[in-house]
Amino acid sequence: MSKLVVRNLGLQSYEPIWRAMQDFTDSRDATSNDEIWFCEHEPVFTLGLNSAPEHLLATGDIPVVQIDRGGQVTYHGPGQLMIYPLIDIRRANIGVHELVTALEQ
């Protein structure tokens, strides 16, 4: 059984954290610990797979990042606590819905 590592990363730019999550996922194996990352992001809009650039209105000087996740346009900024569960749900024998419910509880 692996342990759960919790990381408080503070205020971070979105893109380096997103890339770090991709690297973490790509490099893990069956013995890797699961992790939960907590952070806040500097102001950014993310465009998910279901978005289109015309969904953005007057972004000003806030950066826009196209990402490989579902969803449409999402704003992230200081004061919003982001929780990123990097959990092997197959190994934990749970589904996405069960994970989300557990995190909400």
**% of the chain at pLDDT higher than 70:** 98
Sort residue 48 into left (φ over 0), alpha (ψ -120 to 50) or beta: beta
Q: What is the pLDDT of residue 95?
A: 92
Per-residue H/E/C for 85-101: EECCHHHHCCCHHHHHH
- In a 10 Å sphere around its CB, with 0-12 CB exposed, 13-18 middle and 19+ buried, how is residue 16 labelled? exposed
In this prediction, residue 87 carries a pLDDT of 93
Instruction: Give the pLDDT band (50/70/90) at residue 40.
Output: very high
CB-CB contact of 10 with 39 (8 Å):
yes
Range 41-57 average pLDDT: 89
Q: Which token pair is 58?
A: 């007057």
Instruction: Using pLDDT thresholds of 50, 70 and 90, give the confidence band for residue 1.
Output: low
Residue 40 has, within 13 A of its CA and on its CB side, a CA count of 9
Structure confidence by residue, pLDDT tens digits, 53-96? 788 888 899 999 999 888 889 999 999 999 999 999 999 899 99
pTM given for the model: 0.86
What span, in angstroms and rounded, lies between the C-alpha atoms of 65 and 87? 24
User: What are the residues whose beta carbons fall under 8 Å from the beta carbon of 21, sequence distance 6 or more?
Assistant: 37, 84, 86
For residue 17, pLDDT over 90 is answered with yes
